[in-house]
Amino acid sequence: MGITMKQNESKILIFGGTGYIGSHMVKASIKLGHPTYVFTRPDSDKKVLLDEFQSMGAIIIKGRLDEHDKLVEALREVDVVISALAYPQVLDQLNILEAIKIAGNIKRFLPSDFGVEEDRVSALPPFEAFLDKKRRIRRAIEEAKIPYSFISANCYGSYFINYLLNPSHSNKQDITVYGSGEAKAVLNYEQDIGIYTIKVATDPRTRNRIVVFRPPGNAVSQLELISLWEKKTGKIFKKTHISEEEIVTLSQTLPDPQNIPVSILHSVFVKGATADFEIGGDDVEASSLYPDLKFSTVDEQLDVFLKNPPKPASAAFE
């Protein structure tokens, strides 16, 4: 009993909480009984979402990432810091890190990773430059000796099911396949990513470790995904392959930052970067830590699209 009480007392501050994946973390933190704080810009246009968070019990702190004293003050209220800031703000996390050093009370910092495991993959130059910024933050946290958990959540399931299958266009007959379509990718449901992230953030076993979200049932190839979707919808889709060469060429010819998404597709769906390395050493796979929790399988995620399809989203690269 003592442990659950103690864990539930962790106060959690979330940066980027109104963003695509951050909003799932805020809701999960509240659901799991943590006093939950959301740091947001004073001029945020996400008023409806912030009102929803407040009605659920979250405390909204308004401030900017360059307001050092405001950051320190916010950090002194909490135990755990989770950053889900979008890519353009990745290096702004150095401001959060400086404030954590001054505050001196933070028991765990989770920087904005939540994608491929950046210390275990190499990618085409535009995606590599993207990952380098994230690696810089990791190294700075280690150097500062701030207790951390680094999370690789792999692919956001609904995001990529929308991207790959276009289920909202019910009259669409053809599906684009990147490369051969045989490489496996790990697709995790966004709500699960939220819950597991909060669990990891408050778990003594995950301190100073890399945690990979790779449940055994969630690695799927594009061709397997299409075949599952065909069975569920009773449709047959025409597959149009874009070759690896074409994707590499696009990564070299598209302007920055449009060259980033195509490089991510190459890593994840042509090279299989989320599924092709052994999780070893001190790294740990999340589903093994929480036998009482279950990740939604890819099959279950597709069922959500049959009943109540999540809206397509777009990632911010600039």
C-alpha distances in Å from residue 253, one per residue of 76, 190, 248, 269, 311? 47, 32, 9, 20, 30
Q: Among 199, 81, 214, 86, which Cα is nearest to 141's?
A: 81
Find the angle CA(186)-CA(192)-CA(197) to the nearest 5 degrees.
95
| 62: CB partners within 8 A, 6+ apart | 40, 41, 42, 44
Q: Is residue 111 a contact partner of residue 139, using CB atoms and an 8 Å limit?
A: no
| SS3 state of residue 113 | coil
Round to whole Å and give the CA distance between 3 and 69: 33
Round to whole Å and give the CA distance between 267 and 279: 18
Q: Is residue 178 a contact partner of residue 265, using CB atoms and an 8 Å limit?
A: yes
271 is an active site residue: no
Residues 27, 134, 199, 271: which is the catalytic one? 134
Strands 36-40 and 149-152: unpaired
User: Which residues are tagged catalytic?
Assistant: 134
